Structures are given as C-alpha cells and as structure tokens.
A and B are shown apart, each in its own frame.
Chain A
C-alpha cells in the first residue's frame, strides 16, 4: 500500500458551453486570475526599464519635459499665460498629465489583445486582463507624474485648497474612461484592424480639442457645449478645479456631460466585450 491516496479534486465546477458570461460571473473570474494581472504589469515595467541607463528616472523625466515644452509653446509663444490665478506651469501640468496618460493608455490597451494574440490562442484567462494591465502600466506613470506636481507646488509656493478632496474622483473617472475605451477598442481591433490606424490619428486631433495646453476659458461661449462633449474636457477642467483652488469656478456642465458620456461608453464597452470575448480567437 505505498500508493498515496488520491486527493479530492477541487470543487470548482466549470461549464463550457459557448454562452457569454454574466457580468458578475466574469468579475469573479477576473478576481480569481488577479495574479496574472499583477504579473503582466510587473513584466511590462521590467521590460520597459531593463537595459535602459536611466531606468526609473524616465518616469520623472517625461512629464517634466512635457510640462517645460508645453509651458513654452502655449505660455510663452502663444501668450496664453495671462489671467490665471495659479502659476501657468501648474495650470498646464493639470492638463498635460491627464492628456498624456489618456493618449498612451488608449492605444496601448487597444493594441493589447492583438499584441498578445499568440498567448490568447494558447491559454485561457479572462482576456480583459490584457487591456486592464495596459492601462495599469500607464497609470503608474500617471501617478508618479502627480508627485512631480506636488514638488511643483512647493517650488511655486502654491497651496491647493479644500477642493483637492475631489482629485481622486476625477482620476478614477479618467482611469475608468481609459479602461472602458481600451476594452471596447481592443476587441474591435482584433476583428477590424482599421481602427489601429484611425485611433492614433484621432488622438492627434484630440490634443487640440482638449484643454491640455490651454484652459477651456479660451473657447468662445457658443462653442462651449459642443466642446464639452469631449469627455476629457470635464475631467481635465475638474482636475484643475480640484487642484488649483477652484480656478475658474466649478465646471458644472462639462463635468456632468463627461460623467454621462463616460458611463455610456463604459456600458457599451462592457457589453460588447462580454459578447465578443469568447470568439476572439475565431475572429482574429
């Protein structure tokens, strides 16, 4: 009797029938594979900075350069730096950092499924992990950049007001928006690779119709509503409001519009993702 007794198989039951999962079922599935998410984020960070001389310093270097160039272009050259209650580089920083994050996270997560199709064809874990991980990696840069903002405040001797308690909420909305767009675009990108060309182009335009290098104060009144249909307008102006002592007053209309559009995109994205996920390999 030297045979070890057989362990009882774990009680996990799985039914494979090709019917799309429910949101709750999928959420539980995601939680059970959260380690993969952590590993992918770690992998991307390691790969991004391995064999680089400056390593993690790149995380600080990029936002600093961006802020310097933008302040020069929009402040000094275009002369937008008048009539601001806060130092202009800080005003710019509040716009450029979320924009930079958005313009990286959306294409990164959009391409994440296609870039990992060789893994998707050979092993299973919830595919949403790829676009989420892509956003998470960029989000780390995003949060490091805000630490630079804190240093900038010290430098200029500037103190944010009570509105700062709303700062995390606007960040959360931006994260949600990027993830939603990433989920949605990534499945479309597997089937219709046209959007791989379209999105970077739209982002180039997006920079100019978002208040990244300027404030939305510059937009003529009759265009404000149309302008605010861009969900980034509400988020960026909300961030400015929360960090810069309620700068130009609370941007009520853009924030409400932006929240509604973000939620709508989230709903469509999740629905589309759940319906398509199982077929990804057949569609690719």
Chain B
C-alpha cells in the first residue's frame, strides 16, 4: 500500500440559516446586538450541516471520484480541502502540495495575454515562475493556443480559455490535484485529452480528487469512488472500475 496523503477525519461543516450570526450590514449587526441584549438570550439558530462527520483516506496515486446529488456536500468538501472555507470541526491532514481547480481559469485577467496569465495562474497554484518557464512549451502545446499566446485572453474563445486553464493546472507538478466538475467543459476531443493527461499524472504518482456527475468519466478515471448523501459518507469508499496500476513508491 502506498502512503496516505490525504487523511480526512470526522470533518463537519455547519452553516447557520438565520442571518443573526452573520449580519450582512452594520445595521443588521447592531439590531441583532440590541435584540440579544433585550431578550437576554442567544437567538435560536436554524442550522444546516453541509458535511457531517466525514472520514476518508486517500493514498498516493489514487484517483478518487466524489459523487452524489446536488447539495450533497461534494463541493464543500473540496473547498475545505482547498482551504477556501474552514471546517466547523474535524480536520484534514495533507502531505504534499495541493493544486485546486474548482473553476476553470481562476485568476485569469482578461487584459493579460495568455503568456502573462500562465505565470499569474501558475503562481496562484503554487508553481514558481522559474519552473513555469521550463513548462511553458508543454503548457502551450497541450492547450493549442500557440498562435494566440501573446493576445489578451479577453479575445480568446471560451474553448481556448478552458484549454489553457486546464493545461496550466496539469503542468504545475502538484502532489495532489483537486478538480471540481471542470472536465465537463470543452469539446469531446479536448475532454479525451484531459482524461489521458489525468491518467498519466496519476501513473506518475499524482493523487487526484475530482467531482463529477458524469458516470462515464467516473468509470474511466476513478480508482475509488465515494458517494456523499446529504453531507454524510455512509457507504464509505468503494473501489472504482479504473485499473489501479499505480506502483508503490520506491523510497524506503
């Protein structure tokens, strides 16, 4: 067995439905303070658990698909793992560098050229400029935007935009790649190339965690499948259909 790189333990995330703990203006905040002072008790809160007591482990080289209906907590889990929102309780231990792609082309600036955006976006994904320079050819090659590399991305077609964005994330050398439903974009030709690139990343030891509603994609890519139901992971993690051909790391 390869080593555990993502260890999720009893993770929960609570949202409160009333706005009293989350005043959205100074006025609402003052009003809630006054109300609390007058009644002398904490307001009763309606709460909603987006995740409840989720535990799971992902080992190096695995490709875990998170599936479940809308609102089952998949994205919440990815967001906590990507450090965008904090958990209410529980914790995640991560070893290695995470690169998250929760959206295509986060941080792309329309006025910047493709090339400039590669460096900006790459840095946001935690990859230093020096390393990106070495990867630039591969990134451009994969995305196929070569002719437009020095054109501001505001002039890109949506396909070019997506291809460049995915290409950057695939080349930043993360230990763990987190992908939220972004493989659904792009034409079938590009999707096919994404699938192949994810396969090859995984075989090189990258751990992948992705969310998808596309059962076909899950069948092809996932070595493991976790199904979330209303924020719970009752069924645990089941083996996926994709061949688990990753090998043990060679370190002693």
Contacts and interface: CB of A to CB of B under 8 A. Distances in A.
Interface of A: 3-18, 32-33, 35-36, 38-40, 42-43, 46-47, 50, 118-125, 191-194, 278-279, 281-283
Contacts of A125: 124, 126
Nearest to A51: B111
Interface string B209-252: 00000000000000000000000000000000000011111110
Given A15-B91, A193-B25, A123 B84 contact: yes
A279 B89 CA distance: 14
Contacts of B112: 43, 46-47
Interface in B49-83: 60-61, 79-83
Given A43-B116, A278-B86, A281-B85, A36 B204 contact: no
B156 interface: no
10 contacts: A3-B245, A6-B246, A6-B248, A14-B94, A35-B123, A40-B120, A119-B107, A123-B82, A192-B25, A283-B22
A9 B205 contact: yes
Interface of B: 2-3, 5, 15, 22-26, 29, 60-61, 79-98, 100, 102-103, 106-107, 109, 111-112, 116, 119-120, 123-126, 128-129, 175, 203-205, 207, 245-251
The 9 A-B residue pairs whose C-beta atoms are closest, nearest first, are A18-B86, A6-B205, A9-B96, A17-B91, A124-B83, A122-B106, A16-B92, A35-B123, A278-B86
A10 B94 CA distance: 11
Contacts of A283: 22
B16 to A, nearest CB: 10
Contacts of A43: 109, 112, 116, 120
Contacts of B79: 281
B102 A6 contact: no
- Among A4, A8, A11, A283, the one with the most B-chain Cβ atoms within 10 Å of its Cβ is A8
Nearest to B207: A9
Contacts of A282: 15, 22, 85-86
B247 A3 contact: yes
Contact of A6 (B2, B85, B93, B116): B2
A13 B94 CA distance: 6
B116 A122 contact: no
Given A16-B94, A50-B111, A123 B100 contact: yes
B95 A6 contact: no
